Structure 1
Amino acid sequence: MNIVVVRPGDLGESEISRWRELQGADPSLDNPFLSVEFALAMDRLRDYVRVAVIQDGGKTVGFFPYERHSFGIGKPLGGFLTTCHGLISVPGLRLDARTLLRACKLSVFDFDHMVAGQPTFAAHQSDVRPAPVMDLSVGFDTYIDQVKTNSPKNYKTVRYKERKLGREQGEIRFEWDSTDPEVLRTLLDWKSDQYRRTGRVDRFAQPWIVRLIDQMHAQRSETFSGVLTMVYAGDTPVAGHFGLRTATTLVGWFPAYDTEFARYSPGIMHHLHMAEHAANAGLHQVDMGKGGREYKSWLKSGDLFVAEGRVSRPSPAAAVHWMGRTPVNKARTIVLDRPHLYRFADRVLKGFGRMRTSAQNQSATPAVKEPWGVG
């Protein structure tokens, strides 16, 4: 086999077509974060983006997109922004992972959302976790029956709150695939506020991420698009989401809502409307991504699986990276596996967020209870 490393922008039309062909032929690769369009967008914004083009007998059999950082530290394309990564290849392609790293000039490659079971990386998986999905392949009615079975009480409560919101704030309206940039700005403002309130780092404080979202919002094709959705009460936006889709899969990315309407559980309400419109648009599933949010357990009707792990070649950089990353990854796994620890960590972060906001505003702001906060 021959491995050539280039920037995504240097791929020719035949290689781009081959990428799409390989992705479309394997259902396990049906995720927009694995699409060539996402790699091209990342390459336009960040100079550390690379792709290994894998050839066998003169024929391209795979692509491995990644980020190459200082000292040969490799990261998945999009890093913390994405919920899926891996090889886009012919089924069953098996490479020696360290040989691949050597060709990519990487000393180490950490992954936490790898398509589970890919032969090249399977031996290096340390854990496999479910990523809950809304399975719409047999229609929305069948899906919603599963939601009712999962938790009939929660479903009735959400629908009751939706009717209450309509009575008190205005008729409920859902917009699918908005192209309005002002609607996107509203959503990102909500999300930034959520990051601050909950003690997280505001991703949109980095201008390149905002530019990436804008580019994805403008992307339109049959196999790759950004999708912006919003729930309104009358003319007032209350909850929305921005994600990416292939021809058949929508991936959850940035959900958020206006905390003024938190008592109505607008995030869950939005997800149910989004599932219905996704089904009507011909999508087969909504991938909600792995993670410990309670609402996913009763909104889901199936699971995909993603793997965590690490590949390294002997080097000082790999050793230092291991010492810095492994304890953090183990601690995160322990927290995610124990709901009481997850809730405690969430409360601590929210407390930090309130203190940070209070210090910034020089005045205390009352805490907002976020039932079923989707984000």
Structure 2
Amino acid sequence: MKIQVVRPGELGEAERDRWRELQKADPSLDNPFLSVEFAVAMDRLRDYVRVAVVSDGGRIAGFFPYERHSFGIGKPLGGFLTTCHGLISGPELRLDAKALLRACKLSVFDFDHMVAGQPTFAPYEQDVRPAPVMDFTQGFEAWLEQVKSNSPKNLKTVRYKERKLGREQGELRFAWSTPDPEVLRILLAWKSDQYRRTGRVDRFAQPWIVELTEMMHAENASDFGGVLTMLYAGDVPVAGHFGLRTATTLVGWFPAYDTEYARYSPGIVHHLQMAEAAAQSGLHMVDMGKGGKEYKDWLKSGTLYVAEGRVSRPSASAAVHWMGRTPFNKARTIVMDRPSLYRAADRVLKGFGRVRTSMQQQQESPNAVANEATGAR
């Protein structure tokens, strides 16, 4: 085995084709965050992106995309932005994980959304978590019957709110894979507001993440692309989503809605209509990602699995990293595993968000008065 580390943008067309070939050959790798297009886009925006090219007998056997940060700290490609990572290879490939880290000049590699069961990383998996999916391989109606079986009350309530929204706000219209950049800007503004309102860090306050999203929105190849959807009441956008797809799988990424219409549960109404549009477009699955919202439990008709774990080589930086990350990872797993704790944590974050918003408004008010007094515009 030979391991060569390069930047994704340095891969030639033959190497990119091999990446796509390996990805298509293994159903567990059918995720756009594992696609070469995503790796190349990340490389254009971030200096720390690398890929280890694994060759065996002169033929490429696998690719390992990752981020190399200071002191040899390794992170999955896209880090907190992505819901899947791993080694792109045949399912039989097994590397010495510590030798892989040595070749990548990493002292430690932390993962929390690794494709479960990959031979190279399986010995280091500390937990395996379910990721619910909407499975349309038997058709949309079969999926809808499963949703109804999961929770007939929830489905009935959402359908009622869907009709009420259309009746009171205007006829509903669903747009699938819209290319309009203005629609994307509307969605990202909603998402930023949601992050702030709920006490989370606003990802779109970082210009490179906005640029990455715009780059992905412009992608529309047969095997990889961005999918922007929007639900309208009359001519007014009320809820949307932006995600990435392969030829057969759409991965949930950034859902959001206009809070003015919150009483109609527009986010869930949108998800039902998005599911139907995804199935009609030929997609087999919508991957909703692990953990989080209760709505995933009754929309799911299948489950994938992702793993959490850590590989390290003896070093001072690996030890410091372990002390800083392990308590947080354990606490997060406990909270995500217990709905009552998740709801309590969510309430605390939302309370923090309200306080922060109130303080920002108070700080802005004197500035607005001063500007008005001085004639500033």
Shorter-chain TM-score bucket reads over 0.9
Q: Deviations over 1:273-304 (max 9, x none)?
A: 00100000000000000012110000000100
**Residue 72 of structure 1 pairs with residue 72 of structure 2:** yes
Q: How much does 1:312 deviate?
A: 0.1
- In 2, Cα distance between equivalents of 1:169 and 1:343: 31
**Residue 254 of structure 1 pairs with residue 279 of structure 2:** no
Letter of the 2:109 partner, please give it: F
Greater than 3 Å deviation, 4+ residue runs? none
- SS of structure 1 residue aligned to 2:223: coil
**Identity over aligned pairs, percent:** 80
Aligned to 2:280: 280
- SS of structure 1 residue aligned to 2:121: helix
Letter of the 1:96 partner, please give it: D
Aligned to 1:366: none
Aligned to 1:176: 176
Aligned to 1:157: 157
Aligned to 1:314: 314
Aligned to 1:2: 2
Letter of the 1:155 partner, please give it: L
Q: How much does 1:320 deviate?
A: 0.3
- In 1, Cα distance between equivalents of 2:357 and 2:234: 30
Question: Mapping of 1:53-132 within 5 angstroms?
Answer: 53-132=53-132
Q: Deviations over 1:82-126 (max 9, x none)?
A: 000000002211001000000000000000000000000000000
**Residue 264 of structure 1 pairs with residue 264 of structure 2:** yes
- Alignment coverage as a number of residue pairs: 364
Q: How much does 1:338 deviate?
A: 1.4
Letter of the 2:27 partner, please give it: P
- In 2, Cα distance between equivalents of 1:256 and 1:92: 40
- In 1, Cα distance between equivalents of 2:44 and 2:112: 24
- SS of structure 2 residue aligned to 1:120: coil
Question: Mapping of 1:124-143 within 5 angstroms?
Answer: 124-143=124-143
Q: CA RMSD in A?
A: 0.9
- In 2, Cα distance between equivalents of 1:249 and 1:172: 26
- In 2, Cα distance between equivalents of 1:278 and 1:338: 31
Aligned to 1:224: 224
- In 2, Cα distance between equivalents of 1:230 and 1:291: 24
Q: Deviations over 1:7-61 (max 9, x none)?
A: 0011111100000000011000000000000000000000000000000011100
Letter of the 2:159 partner, please give it: R
- In 2, Cα distance between equivalents of 1:319 and 1:60: 33
Aligned to 1:146: 146
Letter of the 2:54 partner, please give it: I
- In 2, Cα distance between equivalents of 1:91 and 1:336: 29
Letter of the 2:209 partner, please give it: I
- SS of structure 1 residue aligned to 2:204: helix
Aligned to 1:362: 362
Aligned to 2:190: 190
- In 1, Cα distance between equivalents of 2:237 and 2:53: 44
Q: How much does 1:361 deviate?
A: 0.8
Higher alpha-carbon Rg = 2
Aligned to 2:201: 201
Q: Deviations over 1:158-210 (max 9, x none)?
A: 00001111111000000000000000000000000000000000000000000
Which ranges in structure 1 are unaligned for 5 or more consecutive residues?
364-375
- In 2, Cα distance between equivalents of 1:343 and 1:280: 35
- In 2, Cα distance between equivalents of 1:260 and 1:251: 27
Letter of the 1:169 partner, please give it: Q
